[in-house]
A = this chain, B = another copy of it.
Amino acid sequence: MAQRDEKKITKREEDYSKWFHDIILQAKLADYAPVKGCMVIRPHGYAIWELIQKNLDDEFKKTGVQNGYFPLFIPEEYIEREKEHFAGFAPECAVVTEGGGSELTERLYVRPTSEMIIWSMYKKWIQSHRDLPLLMNQWCNVVRWEKRTRLFLRTSEFLWQEGHTAHANEEEARERTLQMIKVYRDFSEKVMAVPVYWGPKTDNEKFKGAIETLSIEAMMQDGKALQAGTSHYLGENFARAFDVQFQSKDGKLEYVQATSWGVSTRLIGSLIMSHSDDQGLILPPKLAPVEVVVVPIYRKDHEKAVVMEECQKIKETLGDGIRVHVDDREGYKPGYKFNEWELKGVPLRIEVGPKDLEKGQLCLAQRFGGSGKEFIPRDEAIASIPKRLESIQDQLFQRALDYRKSRTRVIDDLDEFRTFFTEEGGGFALCHWNGSGEVEKKLSDEFKTTIRCIPDDSFGLIEDGKCIYSGEPSSRRVVMALAY
């Protein structure tokens, strides 16, 4: 019989970063690759990514977005053009200089993002207002050379989606920018069960090529912020860089308006750090590759047959709507299996033993939000499962929201701000700010805090006050925090 691995997960209190990596490695979400700064996404982690993709992709398509695929390599000429305009990505790129056994005449950059290549194609495809809006997205890998890397949060190669839209006017492009950040917000809150602040980034923090960047910002269990998705209004910037003009309805030549927006495998980092505990991963049902695991318990051969039959029946009864897995592995003790599925974050476990069969009951155990093992009459137990999963989903969101509240503070005094971040562990500070990039930089130099976003009006943070640093007048609070 295989025994539970001796490896234990480091406690959050002891070493938060080690806890995070322990969960990733032991729940087999990912592993370190032999290439520096890269990772391997293992089946359990990738299955979560597939659910993220499916959920988001459906939402994108509902808004009229279509998928396509653009090349991995960007000619140096385009990078130069981008550098000239925005001085953005060139320094963090991987560069291909050899191909097919000989040196290339033009060096190729591995895409860090695809605005450059996509807008060079849009130039070919867009001539008239009839060709607009053009709404495309791609799911792909990108590479940004990182010195300090962390699994899922910051790796030299990562998977993401990048949407790139082209519009006939500013209003429509700005609407799209807003629409997509709301798609991300809803996804984070309703599917990932991770509450977010959202709104524009400051000029210092926005994407280099953008006129405005909107972001969603989640709080991790160490009180730090994680930027989980961004949506950029790019104005005419890329259209001008690649000379993309269209003939408007009244026959004028105008530059095309652009947006881009993306989320990445970083979301899995956000998921882990929002919900998990010292026992391992906790997954919201909507993103759990296995929502319900059924573990058969038997000692003798004649027991096995009836127990297994019941397990299969349960799976069939729960049907297509719920992701059920029967763990019928031989040679592993039930306790080993329980531990493994707990570590892997499966929301609900059903145990089926001969005694349960005799009594017409099932044993249910929730990974989160339950009260230990519950023995419940069979049909009642099965009938309760959809509601339980819903409830777990809701409770996880509520817990994350409560946690964020507990570590969010309205602060108007610089000393209190200092104490909050240097002695009290920090969190989200809701502060007045005079809108100056210099003040932002000074706060960042002194406390390492950044302005995560200027929360949308709906957060109720519009009020008159004084900048926490300069004392100058301010009309709304912003979110300041340490960040990943």
Contacts and interface: CB of A to CB of B under 8 A. Distances in A.
A2 B247 CA distance: 14
A88 to B, nearest CB: 14
Contacts of A95: 96-99
A108 B35 contact: yes
A452 to B, nearest CB: 26
Interface in A120-173: 120-121, 124-125, 130, 136, 140-141, 143, 145-147, 156-157, 159
B46 A67 contact: yes
A92 interface: yes
B130 A74 contact: no
A422 to B, nearest CB: 32
Contacts of A130: 2, 331
Interface stretch (A37-45, A196-204, A360-368, A412-420): A37-45
Interface string A27-42: 0000101110011111
A75 interface: yes
A110 interface: yes
A145 B97 CA distance: 12
Contacts of A33: 70-71, 117, 121
Given A99-B94, A100-B91, A69 B159 contact: yes
A379 interface: no
Interface in A54-85: 66-75, 78
Contacts of A46: 66-69
A146 B49 CA distance: 32
A47 interface: yes
B71 A42 contact: no
A92 B97 contact: no
A100 B147 CA distance: 8
A64 to B, nearest CB: 11
Given A71-B33, A99-B95, A40 B108 contact: no
Contact of A141 (B49, B67, B124, B140): B140
A67 B50 contact: yes
Interface residues of A, number: 57
A101 interface: yes
Name A's interface SS: mixed
Contacts of A141: 72, 140-141
Interface in A88-114: 91-101, 108, 110
Contacts of A146: 100
A146 B100 CA distance: 7
A349 to B, nearest CB: 21
Contacts of A41: 68-69
B69 A35 contact: no
A211 B119 CA distance: 46
A156 B73 CA distance: 10
A72 B157 contact: yes
Given A40-B121, A43-B66, A66-B46, A35 B71 contact: yes
Nearest to A147: B100
Which of A96, A98, A141, A143: most chain B CB closer than 10 A? A96
A209 to B, nearest CB: 19
A42 B74 CA distance: 18
The 10 closest A-B pairs by CB, nearest first: A100-B145, A43-B66, A41-B69, A38-B71, A95-B98, A99-B145, A33-B71, A94-B99, A97-B97, A46-B68
Interface of A: 2, 31, 33-35, 38-43, 45-47, 49-50, 66-75, 78, 91-101, 108, 110, 117, 120-121, 124-125, 130, 136, 140-141, 143, 145-147, 156-157, 159, 331
Given A42-B68, A47-B66, 18 more contacts: A2-B130, A31-B124, A33-B70, A33-B71, A33-B117, A38-B73, A40-B68, A40-B71, A40-B121, A43-B67, A46-B66, A46-B68, A50-B67, A91-B100, A92-B101, A94-B100, A96-B110, A140-B141
